[in-house]
Amino acid sequence: MRALAVSVCVLLIAAAVPAAAEVEPALSAEIGSPLKLSANLGIRVAPAVGEDEADYGRGFLIQAQPGLGGIALNVGWVPVALPAWGTQAVGLGIKARYLRTWGDPWGGIEPDQDYVGAEVGLAWIVKISAGVLTRVSSGGGQKTIFTWSIGVGL
């Protein structure tokens, strides 16, 4: 079921990406709950703009975020991003998120749980993000969790 949901998201994004597009890295290093220390590894796919059009760095965002307390897969939209040093130093990201916990996640969250939800990230050199996720796996643990992180990148 999870694989089908991820596949559908990837196909929808691929269908929405224009034929002429710019691809840039979307990287960050973060600390937060529940992943503890984590790294976002991904790309931002932006439509190519003409010479007479303003480029605000908007585009689709696809990221994998492995951490000490689990892993997250993020798919989202970036309405504005200004890249610097291989990351988006200034930007806003709105993401759909799948989270799988393991080990000893922060925030009193149980390991081996699956969550889905949304996250918003804002970067002005330092990135802050917050999200709300709902458990989709069976078993114990909190039904709804709040996520947060602070780091560098988008």
* pLDDT tens digits for range 57-111: 788 999 999 999 999 999 999 888 776 555 566 788 999 999 999 999 999 899 9
Domain count, the chain: 1
CA torsion through residues 125, 27, 128, 10, sign: positive
Cα(149)–Cα(145) distance, integer angstroms = 13
**Domain span at 14:** 2-153
Phi, psi of 25 (to 5 degrees): -65, 145
Residue 124: the pLDDT is 85
Classify each residue of 91-107 as buried b or exposed e, where b means 16 or more C-beta atoms within 10 Å of its C-beta.
Answer: bbbebbbbbebeeebbb
In the chain, % of residues over pLDDT 90:
48
DSSP state of 140: S
Cα(6)–Cα(3) distance, integer angstroms = 5
Q: Record the pTM.
A: 0.80
Residue 46: the pLDDT is 82
Cβ contact 105:69 at 8 Å: yes
